[in-house]
Amino acid sequence: MGARSPKTRRPTLRARLLTALAGDPDGTPPWVRALAEGDDAGYFADGGAVWTVHAGTGTFVAGIRALLIQALHPGAMAGVHDFSRYRDDPIGRLTGTVRWIICVTYGSTAQAARETQRVGRLHQRVRGSYESVTGPRAYSAGDADLVEWVHLAFTEAFLGAHQRWGGQIPGGADAYVREWAQAGRLMRLEDPPLTEADLRARMDGFLARGELRRDDRVDDVVRFLRKAPFTGMMRLAYRVLFAAAVASLPRSYRRLLGLRRSPLPVVTLTRIVLAVSAKALEEGPRAQDFARERLLRLRGTTTATTDTAAAH
């Protein structure tokens, strides 16, 4: 008889999560390992508001919530419809966004700049036209109002999800908004909000001016997000996370999107899904561990320099 072929091992939950988030089953593609490199501490402090919010698994809900909110601006939606590869390569699209968030959050200022430039190069070709409240309007990804809306939607989504499913934020919600304003500046947003109240007031302004609307393109994206191409347990978990994103939306945005809250206890179910995910991710290194290697190295260099100066 011939030799039996080795049994193929099924990927672990951790590997599946990291493949979706980082494009790598170990969660250590080159851009994650590069977090250990660099000559400064980066823009955000270990243990600060941004590190705390972005390290939490509530970000799994926040990512969906941010996409739903962003889709309501016809300019942002036009860019997604005309240029995004989310249908052909949804994992690649997700990984590209996660990469920028992680590198800006945990990387050195040089790495954050490189990643922002990478995103900027991708955005250079994103231009076209859409129907605004005043008629046809040309747009590009760098337009001030589109950059502002994307920043507002992201900040609101990640803050809101953490407030529902995360713990305390060092310094409170205002600290997160104020710190993450730096990401907006990197994307050339001149005057990002610095408080939770200002964040929500600016979002309400877009709504009050009639700049947000639902159309066929929005419905198309919502249908895709509702049934993203996951399989097995990941598919079931994702359905819970999508329902959680919908349930956590401010009522005005949920109504504009034409979505209803699930009758299931999605807040509690989401806590379970996030707890299981967090446990799985603890089985190996995470992005912030590589960043802490850089911080420890820099502290050692600073200590050595101080000791040498004292000796002289």
Most confident of 75-79, 88-92, 104-108: 104-108
Instruction: Establish if 6 belongs to a structural domain.
Output: no
Q: Which domain holds residue 21?
A: 13-295
Instruction: Quote the DSSP letter at residue 35.
Output: G
The pLDDT of 147-163, averaged and rounded, is 96
Place of tokens 């109240």: 197
Flag whether pLDDT at 89 surpasses 60. no
Whether 130 contacts 60, CB under 8 Å: no
Q: Helix 59-70 and helix 266-281: axis angle, to 10°?
A: 120
- Neighbouring residues of 261: CB distance < 8 A, sequence distance ≥ 6: 243, 246, 247, 254
Using an 8 Å Cβ cutoff, are 247 and 271 in contact?
Answer: no
Q: Is residue 1 part of a domain?
A: no
Report d(CA 2, CA 188) in Å as an integer. Answer: 64
The pTM (predicted TM-score) of the whole model is: 0.88
Is 309 inside a domain boundary? no
In a domain, 270, yes or no: yes
Within-domain flag for 31:
yes
Q: Structurally, how many domains does the chain consist of? A: 1
Does 248 reside within a domain? yes
260 Cβ contact partners less than 8 Å away, ≥ 6 residues apart: 246, 254
Strand segments, DSSP code E, in the chain are 127-132, 135-140
On the question of pLDDT at 138 being above 90, the answer is no
Q: Which whole-number Å values give the CA distances from 126 to 20, 66, 131, 214, 220, in the listed order?
A: 25, 20, 16, 21, 20
Mean pLDDT along residues 92-100 = 79
Cα separation, 274 vs 190, whole angstroms: 35
For 265-307, the pLDDT digits (tens) are 999 999 999 999 999 888 888 999 999 999 999 998 655 444 4
CA–CA distance, 160 with 245 (Å, rounded to integer): 10
* pLDDT, tens digit, 9 for 90 and up, residues 32-58: 999 999 999 999 999 999 999 999 999
301 found inside a domain: no
Asked if residue 241 lies in contact with residue 267, where contact means CB atoms within 8 angstroms, the answer is no
Determine, yes or no, domain membership for 2: no
pLDDT exceeds cutoff 70 at 217: yes
Please answer whether residues 215 and 130 qualify as being in contact, where contact means their C-beta atoms are separated by less than 8 angstroms: no
Token pair for residue 302? 């600073």
Q: Is the dihedral of CA 155, 156, 161, 164 positive or negative?
A: positive
Residue 256 above 60 pLDDT? Answer: yes
